[in-house]
Structures are given as C-alpha cells and as structure tokens.
A and B are shown apart, each in its own frame.
Chain A
Amino acid sequence: MSYLSLDHVTKRFKRETVLDGVSLDVAEGETVAIFGPSGGGKTVLLRLIAGVLDPDEGDIRIDGRSVIGEPPEARKLGMAFQNFALYPHLTAFDNIASPLRALRQSEAEVRQGVERVAELLQIGHVLTHLPKALSNGQKQRTSLARSLVRGPRLLLLDDPLRNVDAKLRYEMRIELPRLLKQMDATVLYVTQDYKEAMALGDRIAVLDDSSFIQIDTPAAIYREPASTKVARLLGDPTINLRRVRPAASTHGVSVDLFGQSLPLHVKPAGAADLVVGIRPEHIKISLTATEQGLPVELDAVTPLNVRSVLLLRTKDGGELLASCSEAEAARLPRGHGKVWLDLSPDDLLLFDAETGERLSGATP
C-alpha cells in the first residue's frame, strides 16, 4: 500500500493554476524525485504535503489517512530546504535538537538522538558551532540532520543540495541514497538537476507546467521518454531532435535523415511529420570512412568531464551533438575537420511532430 497519496490535487494562486489535478502514489520506503524546470510547481507541492498550504481541490493521504486541515506539526514529517533555514542564534546541536525538544523529550534522549544523526552525517565535530561559523556544506548537513532526527516516516527534501559547491554536491549525491535507506523513510526529493533525480530517485516524477508529464523509473524515463519535452530535460548534452517526413518505400515507410534513408519497422499512423530523437552518446564517430558512415563536418570539440562533446554539421546544414570518450577526442583536431558518423536504428526515438508524444513501439 502506498504511504503517501496525492489524489487529483489542485492549487491556484488568484487566477493562476500552479498544480492542476496531480496524482502520485509513493510506496513506503520509496524515494521519489520530483524533477522539472523552475516555476513548475515543485515547491508548492511540498508545501501542500507539509501543511503550510492547503489544496483547493483533491486529497492528500499519509499512511491511508487524509491530512487536509491538519496542522503541519501533526503530520509528523521531516523537511529540509535549499536555504537551510537554520536558527541563527542556536548552535548546530540546538538546531538539530529543536524537533526533539518540541516533543518535550528528556535531555538524555535529546543528546542521544542528536549524536546519532550527527555521526551519520559526519558533523559531530561542529555541534557546538553557531550557523555563521559553519561552511555551506556543514549547514546543509545540519539542516538535513534536523529533518532526520525525529526519525520521520515521511521526509520532504526541497532541493537541499542547491546551494552547496559542486564537490560536496557530488559527495552527497553518492552518499544520500544509502543514508535515506538507513533511515527507512519515505522520501520526496525536489530537484532541478536531472543527475540528482536519476541518482537518488527509485522513481522520478517529472513536473512541468503544473502537471506530472511522466512518472517512472530513471531508466524508463531516460530510455523511453513520454515526449520530446521529457527527452530534452534529461541528458547532457541534450538529445538531438530532427523533424522528418515519412515516405513510402519498398520496406513500407522510411524517413530521410541527414540524406540517408532509414526504414521504419513500425508504420506510424498517417503520413504526418515525425520528430526523430538521437541521444548524443548513441552516435558513433570515426576519423576514417566507414561502410555505412555518413560524412559530416566537425565544427567544435568541447570536453565534458570524462567525455567530450562534438558539434557536427550534417550535409543539409543541420547541427548535431555527439559525445565520445576522452581517448577518442584526443585524436580530433582543434578546429574544423571531417568525420564519419554511424547510427544504430535501435537507438532512435520517434515522436509525433504535432503533439511531441513518443510513438510507443515505433522504433525504426
């Protein structure tokens, strides 16, 4: 049974609809990443669950019980925010202890509880410091410790790694999933970073324009995006999208892609235009002519971590991004050059050009 249920939740501010009948079921112990561009309604969603705001329509159930009208403190959940929201006049210890003291626990219990989460988050050595003496990373861990100290069964994390430096963000991305499993909590994790969403979420709920546009596992969302919109939100460099017109051929239907005719195994309905999606890592590059390879111009090589991004120009003047390993990139010129690209038809995604929706099963 699901621990948290959002049932057709709608929230409006004056005439603007921020959330439009959204539904989501989160299983006990599951981490769901709420992912999408800013202004999509992610933070409002968390506030509705926390009880800071009330929905205009729909129901929110925690552990099977509707919580509409219940004050935040009765919902027994933990929250951490991107701006940390620590009490500036309290030490890290007292900040973390505040939820326990609100429950009027004994000082011995408070000490035990704080020390347990502080050890887990490796901030035992800064517990006596005031927030102003903490680094951003330590503030973020203190804020996280406070949200975990009561052992909440439901944890709401609002982009908690947003304001820490890249190195710490990376470390926390690696560590957090294990920590969350240890706490045995059900988690909603809001982020704008697709890598965080993929790394942390058992499932990802993609929120855009006040609705969930896809809810699925990271692998399914990356490999089978519901629409061009979802496909563009995950992946760096961004997926290549090309509009094509299917034409009758000896195989049934084929599309013309960069001057190469590719047969489609599944016939799309009608002869409407399609959009072909190609992930940059699925484009193979050779420095010498290959049998099936298409000659293209190499315009620029931009290294990206352990991979490199190539800007290619096809015969029809279009641009294409490909990525390759560092070793392969080392052999490429600084300026323009000629390379050959190979595509496997299995790696292509097809979308309806009008609606942007993916044509399921329609792999060429």
Chain B
Amino acid sequence: MSALTLDHVTKVYKVRREPEVRAVDAVDMTVEDGEIVGLLGSSGCGKTSTLRMIAGFEDVTSGEIRAGERRLNELLPAARNIAMAFEGYALYPPLKIRDNIAFGLLRDRRPRAEVDTKVQEIAALLEIEDILERYPPTLSGGQQQRTSLARALARNADVHLLDEPMSQLEPQLRAILRARIKDFLIEHKLTTIFVTHDQTEALALADRIAVMNDGRLQQYGTGDDLKDRPANLYVASFIGEPPMNIFDTLARRGEAVHRLAVRTKDGDTEIALDLPRDRITDAVGGDLQNGRKLALGIRPHQVRLGSFPDLGPVLKGKITSNQWLGDQTHIGIESAGRLVIAVFDGNVAAPIDSQVEITLPLAKLHLFDGDSDRALHHGLTTEGTAA
C-alpha cells in the first residue's frame, strides 16, 4: 500500500465570464512509504496546485487523493497529518526561531526534553543554531527559509510537503545542505513531496521526479529514467544542464544503410547521418519509414570529440566556444547548421574556430517521433543502451 496516491486528480479554476483553466489534468501517481518525490516544472505547470490539493488548501475538482486507504479530499488540512514548509516561509513573527521550530512538535504533545533535542539536531543540520534565540523579522530570506524547513522536518508526519524548499539558500551552502537533508529524510524514513522549478534540486534530492507541463504529468521516474530514457521531447529538452542535443531529421531508407537527413539552417543542404542496417536493431530499422519525421537526441556528455566511425555517425564542425568551469568543460560546436553542445570532465584543448569532427555513438542516441514527440528508442544498437 502506498503512502500517498493521486488518482486522476484534476483542478479546474473557473472565473465568471473567463474561460476555465485546467491547472492540473488527470494526474495519476503514487508515493511509497519513505520515498522522496519531486514535482518539477516551470511556473504555471500545475506543480504548486497539486501540492496545495495534497495539503488541503485547494479543493480537488475531480479524482481522489488517498493516504494509505484513507480518502483525504474532504479532510481539513489540520486533520491530514501532513507537515508543510511554504515558499513564503509563514513563520510566526512573535515566536523565537527555537519556538517556531518546536511549535508543531509541542502541538503534537511531544515531551519537552524530546522537543529540545530534536530542535537542536535539526538546527545543527541546517546551520541555524546561532539564530535560535532571534525573531523571524530580523533574519535574511535564506535563514527564514531554513527555519521553515526545520519546522517541517522536525515533525514526524505521514507526509512532508516542501514548497521550493531551497530556492533562497546561499550558493555556498546549497550542496552540503541538500546532502544533509537527503541523509536526514532517508535516515528518518520521512515520506516527502517537494515542489521545485530547479531541476538540479529535483535530481539531487528525489528518488522519483514527476515532470509536469501544462497541468499534465509528462513523466514520473527516477533521475536516471528522465536523463537516459525521457518519455518525450519535452522531457528530453527540459532535463539536463545543458539538456539533450536534438536534431530534426527525415528518414531515408536504403539497401545497406538507412539515413537520417538533417536539414541545415539555410534549408538547401542536407547532412546525412548514416545508420548501417547491420548495426541497428530490427525495431529501430522498422521505425525508419521513408520520409518519416524523426527527432534524434544525444546528451551533451555522450558526444565524442574526434572521428570514431565504428561507434556511430561522424559530423564535421567548428568550435565556437570552449568554457572551462573548474570541474568540467562545455564546448559549443557549430555542426549541421546548428549548435551542438558537448560536455567533458576536466579541461579539454579545443581552440575556438578550429575545425573538428564529432562522433554520435549509436548506443547513446535517442529517437523520437517527429509528430507526436513521443520517444521511440533509447540506444539504437543491440550493443548497449543509452546511458
């Protein structure tokens, strides 16, 4: 039995004389006991409405939300045993930080000694020990956010809901706090759903991520699923920093070699990506109907610099940027009339304006239907899968 189930959950906002807005459209998902789930999408995608329906701040237009077997739809927020950290922090201004964090625990009638220990533990975790005796209005946005987070984590509720929990954190603290929070959630087996527009935060914390767009669930899976097996072009071009390189192509069937023709920007020339029939799977070959529109994708760190025809199609290009960021290098290559991004660990010698060849390994290529945007294949050979 799942800790939380969303069964065809829909939210429609109606304002008189205005067209109705379907903010959340038939979302189905389950959250297992102790699982950490991220709701990810850009603003207006429906992620916050979904969170607010789970919390009980919004009515569910249709569908059902269950905690275990208990239907939540009609329950008041306070009766749901859900802990929440809000994006606007919602701290009690007349209470010290210590008492703000302890508030939920005391209301749950936990003994004072236990509460004090818990507050101390959480405060150390989030580095707010030195502000426990201060009041919310005297704190920075980042400190208030950490207090709000501390209050939600201190409780042992059935479900913990966190709304953009780390958007205001100081950049130097972000990596360590994310890691400590994840450790804490796993150690205490807290079932958690958090909303974020920041995919690095979602990937860092979540066991599974629900990618939303236009009120619809695009894909619900692990970070690896989203990166290596994106369900459609929306997810493929949203996930990853930088996201997948996508080529719009037309299939051309041949005797020994099938081709994907990439039209360059001027529209006159075509660049062919060769897919030898004996190297690709029958299923891929079957999807290459003559004249079919297909999108080809490859993640930036799977692009190889140099010519390796045994691995996959080779393209000529020109280096347009080479940016070393300390632990990795991002290279821009103008090829087939578009910008291809390649990412490497460490430092790479590739001077601007130099002519290069790049290889797109068949095993790392993704194929999407050009009309429906749906993913068809991840990895085009039998030799390995796209990872």
Which A residues form the contact surface with B (CB < 8 A)?
165-167, 170, 173-175, 177-178, 195, 198-199, 218-219, 222, 232-238, 279-281, 299-307, 309-311, 319, 321, 323, 325-327, 330, 334-336
B-chain residues with CB within 8 Å of residue A305 when the two chains form the complex: 200, 203, 240-241
Query: Closest chain A residue to B36 by CB distance?
Result: A334
- Report the minimal beta-carbon distance from A351 to chain B, rounded to whole angstroms: 16
A-chain residues with CB within 8 Å of residue B180 when the two chains form the complex: 299-300, 311, 319
Q: Can you list 11 A-B pairs, Cβ within 8 angstroms, ordered by A?
A: A175-B321, A199-B321, A237-B174, A281-B326, A300-B183, A302-B204, A305-B241, A306-B343, A307-B327, A311-B180, A319-B180
- Report the minimal beta-carbon distance from B350 to chain A, rounded to whole angstroms: 14
B-chain residues with CB within 8 Å of residue A304 when the two chains form the complex: 175, 200, 203-204
Please count the residue pairs between chain A and chain B whose beta carbons lie under 8 angstroms apart in the complex: 121
Interface: B81 (CB within 8 A): no
Of the candidates B178, B300, B324, which one forms a contact with A218 in the assembled complex, judged by CB atoms under 8 Å apart?
Answer: B324
Q: Which of B196-246 contact A (CB under 8 A)?
A: 198-200, 203-205, 207, 223-224, 238, 240-243
The distance in angstroms between the C-alpha atoms of A199 and B176, with both chains bound, is 24
- Report the minimal beta-carbon distance from A14 to chain B, rounded to whole angstroms: 22
Query: Closest chain A residue to B170 by CB distance?
Result: A37
B-chain residues with CB within 8 Å of residue A319 when the two chains form the complex: 176, 180
B-chain residues with CB within 8 Å of residue A174 when the two chains form the complex: 320-321, 323, 330, 332, 339, 341
B-chain residues with CB within 8 Å of residue A232 when the two chains form the complex: 172
A-chain residues with CB within 8 Å of residue B330 when the two chains form the complex: 174, 199
Interface: B325 (CB within 8 A): yes
The 9 closest A-B pairs by CB, nearest first: A237-B175, A311-B179, A302-B204, A281-B327, A199-B323, A300-B183, A300-B179, A300-B182, A299-B183
> Are A335's CB and B186's CB within 8 A?
yes
Q: Which of B182, B187, B243 has the most CB of A within 10 A?
A: B182
Interface: B94 (CB within 8 A): no
The distance in angstroms between the C-alpha atoms of A178 and B319, with both chains bound, is 11
The distance in angstroms between the C-alpha atoms of A326 and B299, with both chains bound, is 13
Which B residues form the contact surface with A (CB < 8 A)?
42, 171-176, 178-180, 182-183, 186-187, 198-200, 203-205, 207, 223-224, 238, 240-243, 299-301, 320-321, 323-328, 330, 332, 339, 341, 343, 345, 352, 387
Beyond A198-B325, A281-B327, A302-B182: 13 further Cβ-contacts under 8 Å? Answer: A165-B42, A166-B241, A175-B339, A177-B323, A195-B325, A199-B325, A302-B204, A303-B223, A305-B200, A305-B240, A306-B343, A307-B328, A323-B327
**Main secondary structure on A side of the interface with B:** mixed
> Are B327's CB and A299's CB within 8 A?
no
A-chain residues with CB within 8 Å of residue B343 when the two chains form the complex: 306
The distance in angstroms between the C-alpha atoms of A309 and B181, with both chains bound, is 13
Q: A304-B203, A330-B224 are in contact. Are A198 and B323 (CB under 8 A)?
A: yes
Q: Which of A178, A321, A325, A336 has the most CB of B within 10 A?
A: A178
The distance in angstroms between the C-alpha atoms of A360 and B305, with both chains bound, is 36
> Are B345's CB and A325's CB within 8 A?
yes
The distance in angstroms between the C-alpha atoms of A19 and B320, with both chains bound, is 37
A-chain residues with CB within 8 Å of residue B243 when the two chains form the complex: 167
Q: A174-B323, A279-B326 are in contact. Are A306 and B301 (CB under 8 A)?
A: yes
> Are A321's CB and B179's CB within 8 A?
yes
B-chain residues with CB within 8 Å of residue A175 when the two chains form the complex: 321, 332, 339
> Are A238's CB and B182's CB within 8 A?
no
Query: Closest chain A residue to B222 by CB distance?
Result: A303
A-chain residues with CB within 8 Å of residue B224 when the two chains form the complex: 330
- Report the minimal beta-carbon distance from A152 to chain B, rounded to whole angstroms: 23
Query: Closest chain A residue to B178 by CB distance?
Result: A302
